[in-house]
Amino acid sequence: MEALLCKRLGDPASASASASASASASASVGNNSESSPSPIEIIRNHPIPELDSPTAVRVKVKATSLNYANYLQILGKYQEKPPLPFIPGSDYAGTVDAVGPSVTKFKVGDPVCSFAALGSFASFIVQDQSLLFGLPKGCDLVAAAALPVAFGTSHVALVHRANLTSSQVLLVLGAAGGVGVSAVQIGKVCGAVVIAVARGAEKVQFLKSLGVDHVVDLSNQNLTASVKEFLKSRNLKGVDVLYDPVGGKLTKEAMKLLNWGAQILVIGFASGEIPVIPANITLVKNWTVHGLYWGSYRIHRPAVLEDSIRELLSWMQKGLITIHISHTYSLSEAHLAFSAIKDRKAIGKVMIAFDDKGRSKL
């Protein structure tokens, strides 16, 4: 099968990654593997994984999603560091290819989606039937592959942790990225007043098309001044929930806008800087700070994840949320996909699709 293998830590968006992907795409396994400085290689004849239990299901992957965590993991900067070599990847969708003798929930040909700690950057993946979610016939598998991590993160954060309501104001930093776009949409489903923060006219126009109540363009606007002016126009006191996948100086500035009793959702640090949230200010203003490492819910609260994904699939089917695919690449173009994330070119999700020779931009 075709698979992307991380053989050493480094930048998968680098020029060396491009050269290595091109070379290994036409080479046999192992050719040039040790001499190449690239962290990633495309292996064309990697062994297809076998069913490893009576309830195991093998899925033929149609598409897999790129998340910022995947990029950090190959760099060696993610909190979970798997031993080398490994096949990266998390959320995906495809069709059932084979089932174990005790599988009762699925049959060959069924469309499914799921997420894994590793392994979705390959044309086949094996997981237990309990970890798969069935999809309706005719469902867009590329869109379904983009749902679990980005929308799952935002749903657990906003619905389960923050209990966002229609009487509240939600401020979303990094609003045009994968998790940002999902947070904006879920905020609107919850009925909240949604303020989105992004950079550049194209991203601003896109966010306005989603029905966001106010968009701050950091390329020409000051965050504090713009939000305060909007809040005053709506006779609102401040922000009730801060959704923060960015960190750094932007977090510090956003904290100036928070109400007494506000909630801060720490999603990630795309800026590369971990912010300081002063404990004394948190005490005085009665803030609640939620750390949200979505993947750990599978270990500690699996039922929460399962309920969340099922509700999101229902919302997608009803048209309450829309999956916005910014770029789609083939596996051999993985370095370009990582570059789109690294350089913040994406508006929405970046995907890798199998049996897809071209690439598209939203």
**Mean pLDDT across 200-206:** 95
Task: Work out the pLDDT band at 328, boundaries 50, 70, 90.
Answer: very high
**Mean pLDDT across 234-258:** 97
Is residue 163 located within the same domain as residue 278? yes
Is residue 159 located within the same domain as residue 254? yes
CATH assignment of the domain containing 109? 3.90.180.10
Task: Work out the pLDDT band at 16, boundaries 50, 70, 90.
Answer: low
Six-digit token string for 188: 């609107």
Is residue 34 located within the same domain as residue 123? yes
pLDDT at 138: 82
pLDDT at 18: 53
Task: Work out the pLDDT band at 29, boundaries 50, 70, 90.
Answer: very low
CA distance 32 to 40: 12
CATH assignment of the domain containing 237? 3.40.50.720
Residue 283 lies in a domain: yes
Is residue 255 located within the same domain as residue 352? no
pLDDT at 281: 96
Is residue 154 located within the same domain as residue 292? yes
Tell me the residue range of the domain where 212 lies: 149-296
Is residue 140 located within the same domain as residue 221? no
Residue 310 lies in a domain: no
Which position has the token pair 């094996």?
Answer: 126
> What pTM value is reported for the model?
0.88
pLDDT at 79: 83
Is residue 286 located within the same domain as residue 352? no
Asked which of 296, 311, 346 is the last residue of a domain, the reply is 296
pLDDT at 360: 44
**Mean pLDDT across 303-332:** 93
Residue 318 lies in a domain: no
CA distance 298 to 293: 10
* 234: pLDDT strictly greater than 90: yes
- In this predicted model, what pLDDT tens digit does every residue of 34-85 receive, in sequence order? 445 789 999 999 999 999 999 999 999 999 999 888 999 999 988 889 999 9
pLDDT at 274: 93
* 166 vs 29, residue with greater confidence: 166
CA 251 to chain centre: 20
Residue 56 lies in a domain: yes
* 180 vs 17, residue with greater confidence: 180
* Mean of per-residue pLDDT scores for the chain: 91
* 24: pLDDT strictly greater than 60: no
pLDDT at 36: 52
pLDDT at 252: 96
Is residue 213 located within the same domain as residue 77? no
Task: Work out the pLDDT band at 14, boundaries 50, 70, 90.
Answer: confident
Residue 301 lies in a domain: no
**Mean pLDDT across 319-332:** 93
pLDDT at 15: 54
Residue 315 lies in a domain: no
Total domain count, the chain: 2
Asked which of 261, 278, 296 is the last residue of a domain, the reply is 296
Q: What percent of the chain has pLDDT over 90?
A: 81
* 33: pLDDT strictly greater than 60: no
- Residue 279's contacts (CB-CB under 8 Å, 6 or more residues apart) are none
Distances (CA, A) of 336 to 26, 60, 61, 98, 132: 18, 23, 20, 32, 29
* 105: pLDDT strictly greater than 60: yes
pLDDT at 362: 41
CA 222 to chain centre: 27
* 213: pLDDT strictly greater than 80: yes
Nearest to 67 by CA among 130, 129, 125, 115: 115
* 127: pLDDT strictly greater than 50: yes
Nearest to 59 by CA among 127, 147, 144: 127
pLDDT at 343: 86
pLDDT at 28: 37
* 278: pLDDT strictly greater than 50: yes
Is residue 242 located within the same domain as residue 267? yes
Is residue 345 located within the same domain as residue 254? no
**Mean pLDDT across 134-156:** 93
* 113: pLDDT strictly greater than 80: yes
Residue 311 lies in a domain: no
For the chain, the C-alpha Rg in angstroms (whole number) is 21
Residue 100 lies in a domain: yes
Is residue 354 located within the same domain as residue 329? yes
CA distance 102 to 55: 5
Is residue 179 located within the same domain as residue 190? yes
Q: Which amino acid is at 354?
A: F
Tell which phi-psi region holds residue 315, choosing left (phi > 0), alpha (psi between -120 and 50) or beta: alpha
pLDDT at 73: 93
* 86 vs 137, residue with greater confidence: 86
